[in-house]
Amino acid sequence: MTNYSVEALELNKSFGRRLIFNDLQFRFDKSGVYGISGPNGSGKSTLVKIIAGILGASKGKIVHKMNDQEIAEERLHDHIGFVSPYLVLYEEFSTYENLKLFAEIRGVKFNKERVDYLLNKFLLYKRKDDLLKTYSSGMKQRVKFIFALMHSPQLIILDEPTSNLDDEGKNSVYELVREEGQKNIVLIASNEKNDLELCNDIVYLEKYKN
């Protein structure tokens, strides 16, 4: 079971006069799979960016703790794995080169055993030395999962995780989500029924529009 927790305290986000959500509150402090849902444009991606420290809130805050000690914002990347369709990979590098570079940027040891395990899990091991520009969009999405998971984070944030994936790719994701949810906190931002069926609890953003 994880010793990690993430909590939203009276969170508000607006862009100009447009309210995205208001007085949003939740606390996840047990391992499991949790959902963030709402219609297109309701703020799912905005919320996960705030949780990951990529975007600031207008009011309120997100608090991350490990062993009851609050984590400084500049150290969040040590504890978070983030997957989204808008993350950029280096097309002129191979998968292995991308992952080694990301490990170096993050300042963590490149764990070959862990990376090879994930490459096999996502059916990419045989293509690990091929340039990313030769990959399909679904294969690139799977590389993003490996990037997010290779440092064994305690909080895994998945924004529209099964977009661009075929059934085989989705099944790999679902298997991994169940596996990670047994020991870590997994947040899934999605409207997909099959994605949300994995969740123990769901935050519905349409409840926080007033």
Q: Which CATH number fits domain 4-208: 3.40.50.300, 3.20.20.70, 3.40.228.10, 3.30.360.10?
A: 3.40.50.300
**Positions in the chain whose pLDDT score sits under 70:** 1-2
- Concatenate the DSSP letters of all residues of 20-77 into one string: EEEEEEEEE-SSEEEEEE-STTSSHHHHHHHHTTSS--SEEEEEEEETTEEPPGGGGG
Displacement of CA 23 from its chain's centroid (Å): 23
The pLDDT value given to residue 129: 96
Q: Which residues contact 64 (CB under 8 A, 6 or more apart)?
A: 4, 5, 6, 70, 71, 76, 79, 155
Q: Do β-strands 185-189 and 201-204 pair in parallel, antiparallel, or remain unpaired?
A: unpaired
In the chain, domain spans: 4-208
Pairwise CA distance, residues 141 & 83, whole Å: 8
Quote the pTM value: 0.92
Q: Which of 4, 43, 49, 9 is nearest to 26 (CA)?
A: 9
pLDDT score for 88: 86
| pLDDT digit string, tens, across residues 32-57 | 999 999 988 889 999 999 999 999 99
pLDDT of residue 153: 94
What is the C-alpha separation between 7 and 144, in angstroms, rounded? 25
pLDDT number for residue 183: 94
d(CA 106, CA 48): 20
CA–CA separation, 122 and 145 (whole Å): 9
Predicted local confidence at residue 1, as pLDDT: 59
Q: Are 62 and 5 in contact (CB under 8 A)?
A: no
| Contact in structure between 53 and 158 (CB atoms under 8 Å) | no
Partners of residue 208 on adjacent β-strands: none
